[in-house]
Amino acid sequence: MLDVLIVGSGLAGLAITETLREKGCSVRVIDDASQRASRVAGGLYNPVVLKRFTLAWNASEMLALALPFYHRLEEKWGIQFDIQQPVYRRFAAVEEQNSWFEAADRPGLSDYLIPEIISNSNPSLHAPNGFGRVKDTGRISTRALLEAFQVNLRKYNALDTRSFDYEKVRFENGIIGYEELQTRYVIFCEGFGMQANPFFNYLPLQGTKGELLTIYAPELKESRIIKSGVFFIPLGNDRYRVGATYSWNDYTQESTQKGRETLLAQLKQFVTCNFEVEGQVAGIRPTVPDRRPLLGQHPEKKGLYVLNGLGSRGVLIAPYAAQCLADFIISDIPIPPQMDISRYAKYLGKPQSH
């Protein structure tokens, strides 16, 4: 009999699958590739909210868990996913320089913000007020990571690419049946697709559409990740990823002219050389009103669990959230209350509108 059936193979599904595997559990994954937010994500890990110069929630603890997690997968699969790159915050005004120095003196933030102004030396960038640098940053190549994950699942015949049929879930004396399978637990990691899940659609999951561009800029010659309204991420070979937009009213996964124009307008504020747009992608981030993940067991359907709502910091949050959920399932260690779905128990039986 299977230990765990996991629905979804994005960052959340990958993180809980590999965490449970490390604990000796047998796992099978079902994913029809209908959700693609994890694949098109910029993949940044950055402990600081650079819009407000504040520390991201639980950032230090998450960073300490996430980087070793990804490094173990690099060694296991023989592919590099973690590209360590500095993040530079472009200052739009002198007032932001002052705010930077104030933030760099605060407990927690002082571990990550370098208290100096770095002058711009790139003639293809407009940055008269310079930059501030954040330590312990980089990006995970999410596409390469998730492709390697699926290759590994297929190697062990542990991937089913059919759509999950909720009506085929059976509860039989403490065992869950699904088609020909019997398992102890089912964990739903469906991202925005959870809106169609009759077991967990009472949770207030929101969708936030994000769009990104890929540009070709041979004159730019920049190796740093730069935050200036949008993130600007070097990919190598004179290619750069630019993003992302935030749209709360469009739940399609198609890129838009409006998204393209928004990104180009912000990019042209600081990139002065010629460039060519080579691609545009979109995905729906799974976000939650209180900006905390959704973890836990269904209050009535025992054996059904959810791991969702990772938002725009999925690369950083996923390993931490997966560890918390695995500890809860295997060792009965309580889930931190900020993430436990019990905080939304009053919505049970009231499917949320999207």
- Give domain status of residue 354, yes or no: no
Same domain, 212 and 267: yes
In-domain check, residue 63: no
* Residues 31 and 97 grouped into a single domain: no
CB atoms inside a 10 Å sphere around CB 318: 30
Among 287, 317, 338, identify where a domain stops.
287
49 found inside a domain? no
Question: Is 157 exposed, middle or buried (CB count within 10 Å of its CB: 0-12, 13-18, 19+)?
Answer: exposed
Q: Which domain range does residue 252 map to? A: 87-136+207-287
Residue 213, CA distances (Å) to 234, 235, 351 in order: 12, 12, 34
**pLDDT at residue 351, rounded to an integer:** 63
163 and 225 inside one domain: no
Ordered per-residue pLDDT tens for the chain, 354 residues: 899 999 999 999 999 999 999 999 999 999 998 777 777 788 999 999 998 899 999 999 999 999 999 999 999 999 999 999 999 999 999 999 999 999 999 999 999 999 999 999 999 999 999 999 999 999 999 999 999 999 999 999 999 999 999 999 999 888 999 999 999 999 999 999 999 999 999 999 988 999 999 999 999 999 999 999 899 999 999 999 999 899 888 888 899 999 999 999 999 999 999 999 999 999 999 999 999 999 999 999 999 999 999 998 999 999 999 999 999 999 999 999 999 999 999 888 766 655
Q: In terms of domains, do 125 and 103 share one? A: yes
Of 270, 287, 304, the residue at which a domain comes to its end is 287
Instruction: Write down the number of H helices and E strands in the chain.
Output: 7, 20
Last residue of a domain, which of 249, 271, 287? Answer: 287
Cα–Cα distance between 104 and 311 in angstroms, integer?
26
- Whether 72 is covered by a domain: the verdict is no
Residue 192 lies in a domain: yes
Backbone φ, ψ for residue 328 (5° rounding): -70, -45
Q: Is residue 81 domain-resident?
A: no
Q: How far is CA 106 from the centre of its chain?
A: 27
Shared domain check, 296 and 267:
no
Whether residue 254 is contained in a domain is answered as: yes
The helix (run of H) or strand (run of E) holding residue 153 is helix 142-155
148 shares a domain with 102: no
Closest C-alpha to 30, from 182, 159, 178: 159
State whether 242 and 341 are in the same domain. Answer: no
Instruction: Tell me, yes or no, whether 215 and 340 share the same domain.
Output: no
Each residue's pLDDT tens digit, 38-91: 777 889 999 999 988 999 999 999 999 999 999 999 999 999 999 999 999 999
For the chain, what's the residue count? Answer: 354
Residue 322 lies in a domain: yes
Statement to judge: residues 6 and 118 lie in one domain: no
- 11: domain CATH number is 3.50.50.60
